[in-house]
Structure 1
Amino acid sequence: MIIINSKDRILDVALQLFIRNGYRGTSLNDIADQAGLTKGGVYHYFSSKDDLYYQAVKRFFDFSQPGWLDNTDVEIKELIWQGFQSIKDRKKWIKDLVGVDSNDAILHFYMFLYDATRRYPELQKDIDQHDEAKRKKLAKVFRQAQQEGKIREDVNPEVIAFELDALLQQLEYLSFVNPNIYQDSNMYQRLFDNYWLRLKK
């Protein structure tokens, strides 16, 4: 039997409710009820709603590299394809995080990000640093692929790293809101094929 620490349980419940309903739309009573605790039980770990919100948000912003960049030792073409494929996993992760099994999940998710980074501007810096780390890792991989003669040498590794990161982030959003993306099972393959045509030697 797995025993989950009450504080961790509260943070998990609070994060989902804050993402789904917003700060104003979530009460400590809501969190306590869903966590199976009393409001006093929540106050045992957190001094206020603001304290709980901040800790839940910080928990969310403890970044790690996206899974498709965990192993960059694969062929460059396969790595890029993994990036396109990762959008499906990311979409499921967002739906699970929000607790909404519909494309509306992205609206809750982005509103949460907007609110959190406006309340705590330092978190926007965390996002920027996280994205920069991704792009540096990608640029290193692209540079190595150029040296090995696997992709064109007349493209700037930093620029194509930025471009790919931006493209995947935009496709993540479109996977929720654009029927051409979420209703066409072959769209990612076609987008990847077109992207690869521009890079291969």
Structure 2
Amino acid sequence: MAKESIIIAALGLFLRRGYKSVSLIDVANELGITKGGIYHYFSSKDELLRTALNFFFQRFEAKYTDLLSDKYSIQEVLHSLMVDDAFERYSKELFRLERESSVDHIHFMIEMMRVFPDIQEKIQQSQIWICEALAKRIQVAVDSGQIKSNIDSYALAANILAIVNGQKSLGSYYRFPELRQRMMDNIWSLMNT
């Protein structure tokens, strides 16, 4: 069994059920291996989690780097983040989750900060990195005249991320594509007025 397969299975379970509700036996059962197969790579559930979180952050930072590259317009970036929920779809693909299952990164990260306070800094650093990268992308759009010039790119990036994270936290009603599109259209309108 490859180490990465264990990490992916564990993250999928942690995201669906929460860290405290998942045992190493659950991870082993998910993969059809023994608990000893996991101990070959990880000395404990905590070590597995820490390795899995590093894997998670690396994959998502790479995904954000791609999305925020100049190959997409700022409107396409917003649509991907706010309407398409590209990162939830990516999570489902990466962690081999069913389409109907909900991936709640926000509550998972909150649980991680409660269980492992030292992880809070890594989570915050990741959020700051994403916000700064999005702010740079917004500033490029400002500088090129795609959106109005008096925008505070960092504040707007923080607002967009708060909306995206809020959509997940507020429940299934806010996941309807029609409402998500209206929310994005409203932000886009404010950026162009």
TM-score normalised per structure 2: 0.76
Question: What is the 5 A alignment of 1:148-187?
Answer: 148-174=144-170, 177-179=171-173, 181-183=174-176, 185-187=177-179
Deviation at 1:118, TM superposition (A): 2.5
For 1:165, give the aligned amino acid: L
Q: In structure 2, what is the equivalent of residue 66 of structure 1?
A: 64
Q: Which region of structure 1 is more displaced relative to structure 2, 97-106 or 58-67? A: 97-106
Deviation string for 1:70-94 (max 9, x for gaps)? Answer: 423443334333332341x333345
Deviation string for 1:149-199 (max 9, x for gaps)? Answer: 33222232221122122222222434xx243x444x432332222222211
Check conservation: 1:95, 1:105, Cα contact below 8 A.
Answer: yes
Distance (whole Å) between structure 2 residues aligned to residue 23 and residue 195 of structure 1: 35
User: How has the CA–CA distance of structure 1 residues 150 and 28 changed in structure 2, closer, same or farther, with 3 Å as cutoff?
Assistant: closer
Q: In structure 1, what is the equivalent of residue 16 of structure 2?
A: 20
| 1:144 maps onto 2:136 in alignment | no
Q: In structure 1, what is the equivalent of residue 126 of structure 2?
A: 130
Q: In structure 2, what is the equivalent of residue 195 of structure 1?
A: 187
Distance (whole Å) between structure 2 residues aligned to residue 140 and residue 14 of structure 1: 34
- Give percent identity, aligned residues only: 29
Distance (whole Å) between structure 1 residues aligned to residue 76 and residue 14 of structure 2: 37
Q: Runs of 5+ in structure 2 lacking a partner?
A: none
Check conservation: 1:76, 1:145, Cα contact below 8 A.
Answer: yes
Larger radius of gyration: 1
Question: Paired residue for 2:42, among 28, 41, 46?
Answer: 46
For 1:82, give the aligned amino acid: S
SS in 1 for 2:151: coil
TM-score normalised per structure 1: 0.73
Distance (whole Å) between structure 1 residues aligned to residue 135 and residue 150 of structure 2: 14
Distance (whole Å) between structure 2 residues aligned to residue 105 and residue 16 of structure 1: 9
Q: Runs of 5+ in structure 1 lacking a partner?
A: none
Deviation at 1:126, TM superposition (A): 1.9
Distance (whole Å) between structure 2 residues aligned to residue 55 and residue 47 of structure 1: 11
The CA RMSD over aligned residues, in Å, is: 3.0
